[in-house]
Amino acid sequence: MEALKATSFPSFHRPLISTRNPITIFERPMLRIPSLQQVPNSLPIVHSKKIFKIFTAISPTAPSTEESLSPVDEIESQKKEEKFDWYAQWYPVVPICDLDKRRPHAKKVMGLDLVIWWDRNESEWKVFDDSCPHRLAPLSEGRIDQWGRLQCVYHGWCFGGSGDCKFIPQAPRDGPPIHTSQKACVAVYPSCEQNGILWFWPNSDPQYKDIYTKKKPHYIPELDDPSYTNSMICRDMSYGYANADREGGRPLEISIQKLDVNGFTAKQIFGENFFIPPCLYYGFFSPGGGQNDKKTSSAGTKYGISPPVPPQRRALLIFYCIPVSPGNSRLIFASPRNFAVWIERIFPRWIFHIGQNLILDSDLYLLHVEERKLMEVGSLNWHKSCYVPTKADALVVSFRRWLNKYGGTQVDWRNKFSGLLPPTPPREQLFDRYWMHTVSCSSCSVAHKQLQALEIVLQIISVSTIGIVAAAKQGTMTVAARYGLVSMAVLCFLASKWLSHFIYKTFHYHDYDHAFR
């Protein structure tokens, strides 16, 4: 997550992002991040008394104007102040557009194995523990039966939307109703749909069943605004949550205005961007447009905010970085804008994923290696090994400060893992696109199948054409016709070879060599 903050966008607005249906009002003011002003949390929260102002990044040898704490002091301070609870948050799982209602889907978040499936009886997505209570087989390998129940294919046990077992094929029809036992139930996680994304709460305890009425995920109105583009890409990455990155090569005037357990606000020359834990980083920019300081959102008065801002070219940069397991994360990226919207209405989503995947590939190996080096150094000592003297590094420094001070220095995996990172795989596996993205992307998977079919058609045309020319008797076909058919066969063959290469690089594997970029 750290250098998703290192963006090179020139300017950011400061519109107010809201959430719907606020529940309570705090006695103390919360961090002035737009969504946090609008999403009072009914769960008890104690706020940090310290607010950090970071005007430059700090380094072991560079001067700093920052009110700083040493890593040890930060941990000691953390003991006295509120600690971020990794399991009392909403987590994005996957864009809704990439889910197929006809089958269950396997996903991992926070080290938890999940199965996502569409309950047509309740007309909503369900998130279960991906484990059948019978013999612990993965329910994600099952199916949706004719009655709309989730069925384990190992021994046929069927489950309803509340996790209750509906049918055990091996149970005698005239015997006791053993399927009603609590031991036959599957753990159900609270879930909701928002901004075109499926979210889940990583605690299946029944006391959290109605958590959505008390605390909601951060809401970004522009993702639901029809005047904005809304294309998303989701991809699993072979580096951890704390190392999600974006490269940037220009001087940036960045200062951190406020930092506490609820995240931080970063101010640039023309506006602000925000980190809202555990997963969200976003900001606004207006290419070629004037700046506007009104605190509003594109949703206008629909969500009880002030009137909408005057029409202008506006875009957002939105990253969700989701912890999957040590050394692995999932990125959901969107950049909605209210100009040139027609482009995304004409071209399919997979066309845009070509460029977005290249961007993600550009940093993949660098971050994979960086994560292992930082682990050797230790979370509390990263600053001694990294030289971060410029203001452009302020966001990275602040994220590390937040993680050390409030997040316990790393994601709380609750002892599900050994703490070691997985070994570095071959580059073909590290840069794999097929299993990390194509298979689970509704647009790319369809395009992959269609282009493969086109490749086969071109090969058939090429071979068939040569066969026709060879079988034609002398004199039954003019010389021009023969040359024409042979030329078509050659062109179809070359086109199939080019298409095969394009399919492989676009949907399977594309090595990124910085020396030739």
Evaluate whether residue 298 is within a structural domain: no
Tokens of 415: 């002892």
Specify whether 383 is located in the same domain as 457. no
Q: Single out the residue in 183, 213, 243 at which a domain terminates.
A: 213
**For residue 374, is it within any domain?**
yes
Residues 6+ apart with CB under 8 A from 260: 31, 47, 48, 50, 51, 406
Find the domain containing 395 and state its range. 221-287+312-426
Please indicate, yes or no, whether residues 486 and 382 belong to a single structural domain of this protein. Answer: no
Domain boundary among 174, 189, 213: 213
Per-residue pLDDT reduced to its tens digit, 141-187: 999 999 999 999 999 999 999 999 999 999 888 888 888 999 999 99
Domain CATH for 280 = 3.90.380.10
Examine the domain organization and report whether 177 and 317 are in the same domain: no
Based on the number of CB atoms within 10 Å of its own CB, is 449 exposed (0-12), middle (13-18) or buried (19 or more)?
Answer: exposed
Domain check: are 164 and 229 in the same one? no
Confidence (pTM): 0.81
Does 17 reside within a domain?
Answer: no
Domain at 188, CATH number: 2.102.10.10
pLDDT for the residue 63: 39
Number of domains within the chain = 3
In a domain, 301, yes or no: no
In this structure, the answer to whether residues 200 and 102 fall within a common structural domain is yes
22 in a domain, yes or no? no
- Say if CB 284 and CB 17 are below 8 A apart: no
The whole-chain average pLDDT of the chain stands at 81
Assess contact for 198 and 286: CB atoms under 8 A. no
* Residue 28, domain member (yes or no): no
3-state SS of 107-169?
EEECCEEEEEEEECCCCEEEEEECCCCCCCCCHHHCEECCCCCEECCCCCCEECCCCCEEECC
Give yes or no: residues 139 and 169 share one domain: yes
Residues 131 and 267 in one domain: no
3-state SS assignment for residue 488: helix
Q: Within a 13 Å sphere around the CA of 131, how many CA atoms are in the beta-carbon half? A: 10
Residues 230 and 203 in one domain: no
Say whether pLDDT at 60 is over 80.
no
pLDDT band, very low/low/confident/very high, at 209 (cuts 50, 70, 90):
very high
| Total residues found in the chain within this entry | 517
For 17-45, what is each residue's pLDDT tens digit?
344 443 333 333 333 334 433 333 333 33
Residues 335 and 374 in one domain: yes
- Report the SS3 class of residue 476: coil
The pLDDT tens digits of the residues spanning 453-489 come to: 999 999 999 999 999 988 887 777 888 888 999 999 9
- CA–CA distances in Å: residue 428 to residues 49, 76, 159, 335: 49, 43, 39, 28
Kindly indicate the confidence band of residue 8, based on its pLDDT and cuts at 50, 70 and 90.
very low
Do 413 and 472 have their domain in common? no
Q: What is the pLDDT of residue 379?
A: 83
Do residues 135 and 176 share a domain?
yes
Whether the CB-CB separation of 55 and 334 falls below 8 Å is answered with no
**371 and 343 housed in the same domain:** yes
